[in-house]
Amino acid sequence: MKKIVILAVFMHCMSIAAAPFKILHMSLHRGCINDFREVANQLSLDVTDWYIHDSRMKFDPLAKGNDIYNITAERALRVWELNKDYFDQFDAIVTSDTAPLSRIFLQNNWQKSLIIWVCNRFDYGDGSSESKFPDEGYYSVFKQAIYKPNVHIVSYTPYEHCYARQKGVEIGTHTIRPIGVLPPALLENFVSGIPSHIDKSKTIFIYPRMSPQQAEHAQKQCENLGITTFHGAYNGPDDLTDFKAVLYFPYAWSNLALFENIQRGIVHFVPSERFIHSHANSEPIAHHTRTNFELCDWYCNEYRDLFVYFDSWQDLQEKVKSTDYRAMHEKIKKAGFAHWQKNLEAWRQLFDKIING
């Protein structure tokens, strides 16, 4: 009988050891869901995705419109009470895109592992809402997060560390950028969003994150210089691969499109610091920064060789003519592979630490 009992205990322990480490990834950004999904695929992680916009009623039936981004103390408690049994099925939670999602767990004494992937300012909220967020309680709970052994704060870009310190919050220096690789399932049944009459090989794609006035101005400048362009909707990064290049005016410190396009070897024409300083007050083209360029992924040393910078519209004309597109494509693809390896390894090390101690 004693041997049977010992064997039963041993088998029970073996089943526990063999149980998969289950991870829930919560995000308000589809791109973050897709990027981390491929990380999970590559590292054989057992991850469940929760893209919150697809099940808003499950998340918080009282959230209306963009108010869902404002994780007040009341909302954090409500989401927790509605979903705590579901959360408890997992060994770790990952929040991405907007860090305030982590308040749900920080405020309610979550004891298991919590990874906060800060992608868009740690205190991001929808300012047009009546909800008073961010509030002092949120800053207080986030200040304490760095000292919790179960909490791991990871930034999408180094700028997040600088921004948080400006707000009196320390989040460390750990940075893992998006790998930029999409899950294979997303590439099935691809249908281009570009009109069939567009000859991509002779056309510069103007990235669409512009106002109509800004886009019209950029197109007009290019037209006057004899540069053929297209501006409009497209169906993901694979829809850009056959264009001659992309004309890109950075509108954020970092974004997913950068890394998705690097993986595909896409050539980008980007305004230089000189262009920004000399044109910012005279043109409708928007620039998100005039200082601290080294903190922007479009200008930092790590990626600087992957873009073709232009100092003026006339310089753009010359660069469009003189760029060795094949050589740039190969250089970018090679850098994209190294980027993928580096950041995938960073995720691997983090989860190895969490899972295996």
Burial class (CB in 10 A: 0-12, 13-18, 19+), 247: buried
Backbone angles phi, psi at 260, to 5 degrees: -65, -40
Residue range 191-340 in CATH 3.40.50: yes
DSSP state of 28: S
Q: Which amino acid is at 164?
A: A
DSSP codes joined into one string, 306-322: GSEEESSHHHHHHHHHH
Q: pLDDT per residue over 37-93, tens digit each?
A: 999 999 999 999 999 999 999 999 999 999 999 999 999 999 999 999 999 999 999
Architecture of domain 19-176: 3-Layer(aba) Sandwich (3.40)
Please determine, for residue 17, whether its predicted confidence score (pLDDT) is greater than 70. Answer: no
Q: What is the three-state SS of 60-74? A: CCCCCHHHHHCCCHH
* Nearest in space to 276 (alpha carbons), one of 262, 289, 259: 289
DSSP-derived secondary structure letter, 281: T
Task: Decide if 19-176 and 191-340 have a common fold.
Answer: yes
What value does the mean pLDDT take over residues 8-12? Answer: 44
288 to 79, 273, 298: CA distances (angstroms): 34, 12, 11
State residue 288's pLDDT score.
Answer: 66
Q: What is the pTM of this model?
A: 0.90
Alpha-carbon span 264 to 259, nearest angstrom: 9
Query: Taking CA 291 as the corner, what is the angle to CA 290 and CA 293, rounded to the nearest 5 degrees?
Result: 100
Q: Check whether 178 has a pLDDT greater than 60.
A: yes
Mean pLDDT of 129-152: 93
DSSP assigned state of 175: B
HSE (CB half, 13 Å, CA atoms) of 282?
7
Domain ranges, ordered by start, for the chain: 19-176, 191-340
Lowest mean pLDDT among 141-155, 180-194, 283-297, 330-344: 283-297
230-263 confidence digits (pLDDT tens) = 999 999 999 999 999 999 999 899 999 999 999 9
Distance (Å, whole) CA 176 – CA 349: 11
Phi first, then psi: give them for residue 270, nearest 5 degrees: -130, 135
Q: What is the pLDDT of residues 281-321, one digit of tens each?
A: 777 775 666 778 899 999 999 999 999 999 999 999 999 99
Q: Return d(Cα 316, Cα 299) in angstroms, integer.
A: 17
Closest listed residue to residue 56, CA positions, set 37, 83, 20 = 83
